[in-house]
Amino acid sequence: MSGDGATGGLTPHVTEDGVRRTLHLDQGQDATLLHWACHDFTNKGDNYIAIITSVNVKFSKGGSEQQVSYVVKIKQVKDSGSTSDFDDMVFIKEGKFYTEIMPLINAELVNVGMTPLRVPCCLHSEWDEKQNELFLEDLQPLGFKLHDRKKVMSTAHAVLVLQELARLHAASFIVLSKTPQEDLIHKFKFLSWEMFNYSEKTKKAFDALISGSLLTASELAGAVDREDMKEWFRALSPRGPELLAEQMSGGSAFDVISHGDCWVNNLMFRYDAQSQPVEVMLVDFQLCRKSSLGVDLNYFLFSSLTAAERNVRLTDLLATYYTAFQEVTEAAGIAAPYTLDDVIGEFHKKNIVGLIFGALAIPALVCDPQDAQEFDVTSDDHTNNYVTKKRQNTLNMLKTNSLVLPRLMNLYDDVELYAGLT
């Protein structure tokens, strides 16, 4: 039996014990591990929080030799040998989502005759908060792949995502409605953890990240002679963190368990022979939370479609979402808690979330691999350095990358429309 943990110049801490436990949970206790090896799974710029690798496993069972592959997410370990508060937070949240929340959501869907949530299977029966490696189903052999982040999603892509978000939201609404508030806080306290409230370190890093990124948006606007946008983002910068925290916190009638980070890098699609998307998988639940459904909708729609495409089709897209939401609640014998007009109204109440994250997403969406930066918010100092380097890289990309300017113009169209500027 042998193992090889090397991948792309990194040495992730995939352990043989973890591989063997996963194999037994997946294939049964009679599966005997023969060999395992790590291989590159993502490219530089595809992921910003955890190290992600795939593990190819050879095993014997029933007298025959077989193979299987898993995706492993590994908590970042800093040069000091420790992890940051932020890394600890997101790793606990995702592990708990897969092992505690997803089974409840899937039970509600299956109980009403629907397919389980379209997410990768988690190869953990429980989650220890000290665990550093998360083993998941490898979706690539099933034909799923990431969408090219440099290309704006089509309406066909968006429809699939909105339908699956609706199923997540609706099933979670049912789960939440059956759970008294005091029990919810006790059982699933991680759903309330945010970068702005997890610890003093993460709060300072959050403030530095949001304020600094909005200043970057201001400088970019100045570089393309949009003084109106330069001033708007500059004025938003100091109050952006508080405003965003307020918008993302739960406590309204529209609260659901949301994905929290629903953008192109956290979605995988399967295509037909004509290269049309036919199925989506939601991945990466590191920022899952209990919050308004309007947060997920804004986060996704502002980062994934052009202003023209989204705004022309906005009512239809939200109607698609609402229909899928209503199908779940009605199948469960529960009246939909909102009307379509309610959902549209809540979407607009959360538009500042879309505008801020739309601005923050542009550099990550259009950068070439060599321009990508490792996401480092270990402290507010590290965050400031990260933001400063990204600002300079993005200003440089404005001169060298033809994709930056069109994305900025789309963003400015959104600000003019949704922030009421003329």
Looking at the DSSP bridge assignments, the partners of residue 56 are 37, 69
Report how far residue 333's alpha carbon sits from residue 177's, in angstroms, rounded to the nearest whole number: 13
Q: Tell me, what CATH number does 272's domain have?
A: 3.90.1200
Q: Let me know whether 166 and 250 are in one domain.
A: yes
Which pLDDT score is estimated for 299? 97
Token pair for residue 395? 């200003």
Q: Let me know whether 172 and 197 are in one domain.
A: yes
Q: Let me know whether 255 and 364 are in one domain.
A: yes
Is residue 82 a part of any domain in this protein? Answer: no
Q: Let me know whether 211 and 325 are in one domain.
A: yes
Which pLDDT score is estimated for 377? 75
Which pLDDT score is estimated for 140? 95
Residue 87 contacts residue 76 (beta carbons within 8 Å):
yes
Q: Describe the crossing of helices 307-331 and 404-418 by its angle, rounded to 10 degrees.
A: 70
Beta-sheet strands, E only, within 95-166:
133-137, 144-146
Q: Let me know whether 372 and 223 are in one domain.
A: yes
Is residue 225 a part of any domain in this protein? Answer: yes
Residue 10 has pLDDT above 50, yes or no: no
Which pLDDT score is estimated for 383? 85
Q: Let me know whether 341 and 209 are in one domain.
A: yes
Is residue 211 a part of any domain in this protein? Answer: yes
The pLDDT tens digits for 123-140 are 999 998 888 999 999 999
Which pLDDT score is estimated for 218? 97
184 or 272, higher pLDDT: 272
Report how far residue 265's alpha carbon sits from residue 258's, in angstroms, rounded to the nearest whole number: 16
Looking at the DSSP bridge assignments, the partners of residue 155 are none
Is residue 108 a part of any domain in this protein? Answer: yes
Residue 209 contacts residue 383 (beta carbons within 8 Å):
yes
Residue 321 has pLDDT above 90, yes or no: yes
| Domains: count for the chain | 2
269-277, long-range: CB < 8 A, 24+ apart: 269/144, 269/145, 269/146, 269/147, 269/157, 269/160, 270/142, 270/143, 270/144, 270/145, 271/143, 271/145, 276/156, 277/154, 277/156, 277/157, 277/160
Single residue among 10, 43, 74 that ends a domain in this structure? 74
Is residue 145 a part of any domain in this protein? Answer: no
Q: Let me know whether 316 and 407 are in one domain.
A: yes
Which pLDDT score is estimated for 422? 44
Which pLDDT score is estimated for 7? 37
Domain span holding position 97: 88-124+153-418
150-159, 349-358, 384-393, 397-406: segment of lowest average pLDDT? 384-393
Which pLDDT score is estimated for 186? 82
Percent of the chain topping pLDDT 70: 93
Percent of the chain topping pLDDT 90: 77
Q: Let me know whether 272 and 347 are in one domain.
A: yes
Q: Hey, how many other C-beta atoms are within 10 angstroms of the C-beta on 3?
A: 15
Q: Let me know whether 227 and 266 are in one domain.
A: yes
Q: What is the dihedral of CA 304, 306, 307, 313, to 10 degrees?
A: -80
Q: Hey, how many other C-beta atoms are within 10 angstroms of the C-beta on 415?
A: 24
Is residue 138 a part of any domain in this protein? Answer: no
Q: What is the dihedral of CA 225, 226, 227, 230, to 10 degrees?
A: -110
Q: Which residues of 44-64 are buried (b: 16+ CB within 10 A; e: fewer)?
A: ebebebbbbbbbebbbeeeee
Q: Assign 375 a pLDDT band (cuts: 50, 70, 90).
A: confident
Which pLDDT score is estimated for 80? 57
Is residue 137 a part of any domain in this protein? Answer: no
Is residue 140 a part of any domain in this protein? Answer: no
Phi-psi sector, 62: left (phi>0), alpha (psi -120 to 50), beta: left
Q: Select from 119, 141, 15, 136 the least CA-distant residue to 70.
A: 136
Q: What is the DSSP letter of 238?
A: G
Q: Let me know whether 294 and 375 are in one domain.
A: yes
Q: Let me know whether 204 and 341 are in one domain.
A: yes
Residue 304 has pLDDT above 80, yes or no: yes
Single residue among 40, 74, 108 that ends a domain in this structure? 74
The pLDDT tens digits for 54-63 are 999 999 999 9
64-74 and 51-61 strand pairing: antiparallel
Q: Tell me, what CATH number does 19's domain have?
A: 3.30.160
Q: Let me know whether 98 and 51 are in one domain.
A: no
